[in-house]
Amino acid sequence: MSIELKPVDIAGLRTANNIFAAPLAGYTNAVFRQICLEAGAGLTFTEMVSAKGLCYGSEKTEELLAVMPQYDGIKACQIFGKEPYYMRKACESAALAPFDIIDINMGCPVPKIYKNGEGSALMNNLPLVADIISECKKSGKIITVKFRTGLDGDNVICTEFAKVCEGAGADMLTIHGRTRDKFYSGEVNFGAIAAAKKAVRIPVIANGGVFSFADAERLLSETGADGVAVGRGAIYEPWIFAKITGKPLPDKRKIIEFQLENTKKLFGERFACVFMRKMVAFYIKGMPNSASLKKILFACPDCDALESVIDGIDFDCDVDKRA
């Protein structure tokens, strides 16, 4: 088995390779992105941030844009919203000045986002989609779009949507191969992604269901996409990028200790403890005694206690995270 690793040319920017870390709300903070980059990801994205929040100078929103000092890859940010004016204004903001690429979220299925007319709800309104992209392009930034194959099985509009995005000026597309109603479960529609890829000239990245090298290889081969974006698979194993790209597998314990230490430095003790209890629970999923370990993890009152628990875990146990 093999994957052709190659740069992706996004409006003149060339990525290190074509295995990307997808943006994930609540997870892809600065430290997590640093880990993914060092493990082999060719491109990483911030978690999605509100365009309006950026326009109004929300401190909480701008916290999501933190970048580790040693991060030396292409910087990409994901924004969401529905009003072209605010989307463009966000792209032109000082907060986004350090970012090379602005990705527009048009695929989030979460009810709160959908009911507000944002995320995947934009798939209901193609003229608005075109307006948003064309306004954002006026900022001079490289603009990419992430979306789904459609809203449900009766409304798979992947190809039409891709053409609208390209026509409005999008520089790259990332397609999650499920409809909005499926959220993150069910089969990935390889055919829909493949059809969209054939219909446009800009790069297309396939997303959905990648938890292993074999998954990434199948997604690439069956869609003909230019690359793949790994989402939930990276939450369970941020070192998955080493597995897919063939880089030497890093020391998992050192990665987790780095993540705990730097999350604490960047975001404070309280956030680090809560966040890392959750992350370590993902890392141990499927391991022997993981249920009892999770109880101990979530009882940790602070980062010191959490570090002691981490010290006693054997992270070299390889298991299927989808089990």
Burial of 58-86, coded b for 16+ CB within 10 Å and e otherwise, reads: eeebbebbebbeeeebbbbbbbbbbbbeb
Q: How far apart are CA 111 and CA 109, in angstroms?
A: 6
Distances (CA, A) of 220 to 2, 214, 241: 11, 10, 15
Burial of 120-138, coded b for 16+ CB within 10 Å and e otherwise, reads: bbbbeebeebbbbbbbbbe
Q: How far apart are CA 146 and CA 208, in angstroms?
A: 12
Tokens of 256: 């987790």
Tokens of 267: 């975001």
Angle at 282 between CA 146 and CA 242, to 5 degrees: 65
Q: In this structure, are residues 226 and 204 in contact, taking their beta carbons and an 8 Å threshold?
A: yes
Q: How far apart are CA 107 and CA 71, in angstroms?
A: 27
* Residues that are catalytic: 108
Q: How far apart are CA 116 and CA 124, in angstroms?
A: 12
